[in-house]
Amino acid sequence: MRIAEILRNKGTAVATVPPETTVRALVTVLAERNIGAVVVSPDGVTIEGIVSERDVVRCLAVHDAELLDRPVAEIMTARVRTCRPDDDVSSLRDVMTEHRIRHMPVVSEDRLIGIVSIGDVVKSEITELATEREQLVDYLQGGY
């Protein structure tokens, strides 16, 4: 299965914030949208970074509540790993697991076109396994 298939099923909407957004505003976006990460982008199509709930919590431990009024650019991950729509889901799973990444932006022609989470990857693989199981059962029962 390819990443494009995940995007077809879940959609291509990506929450983005500009780099000058305060951490306080970021936390509101995360809570309102019930998501775990936001792409930091000045224009909604280029990627400057990514910031997650985990980033916020780790920085709060160091900077206390003063962090909330600082820009997300100060806490974001600037070296963002991305994937392409034609990448294989199982390869992406391996990269996400190895590098402990929970959210990966999807890019095409250097433009942000979606985002996949480790949950999306796991869900797609479970669906694929269930389909294969059904096909095997049909085959074994002579329903091919």
Per-residue confidence (pLDDT) for residue 126, from 0 to 100: 82
Contacts (Cβ under 8 Å, ≥6 apart) of 45: 111, 112
Per-residue confidence (pLDDT) for residue 11, from 0 to 100: 93
pTM of the predicted model as reported, rounded to 2 decimal places: 0.86
Dihedral sign computed on CA atoms, order 76, 100, 117, 62: negative
Per-residue confidence (pLDDT) for residue 39, from 0 to 100: 98
| Residue type, position 12, single letter | T
Higher-confidence residue: 64 or 128? 64
| Residue type, position 142, single letter | G
Domain count within the chain: 1
Torsion angle defined by CA atoms of residues 71, 31, 62 and 50, in that order, rounded to the nearest 10 degrees? -50
- Please calculate the CA angle 46-62-58 and round it to the nearest 5 degrees: 50
The upper half-sphere exposure of residue 30, i.e. CA atoms within 13 Å in the direction of its Cβ, equals 21
Dihedral sign computed on CA atoms, order 74, 76, 81, 82: negative
Rounded distance between C-alpha atoms, residue 121 and residue 134, angstroms: 20
Per-residue pLDDT, averaged over 69-97, amounts to: 95
The range of the structural domain enclosing residue 31 comes to 3-140
CATH number of the domain where residue 130 is located: 3.10.580.10
Per-residue confidence (pLDDT) for residue 134, from 0 to 100: 80
* Among the listed residues 35, 37, 40, the one whose alpha carbon sits nearest the alpha carbon of residue 18: 40
Rounded distance between C-alpha atoms, residue 35 and residue 16, angstroms: 11
DSSP E strand boundaries for 25-90: 37-40, 49-52
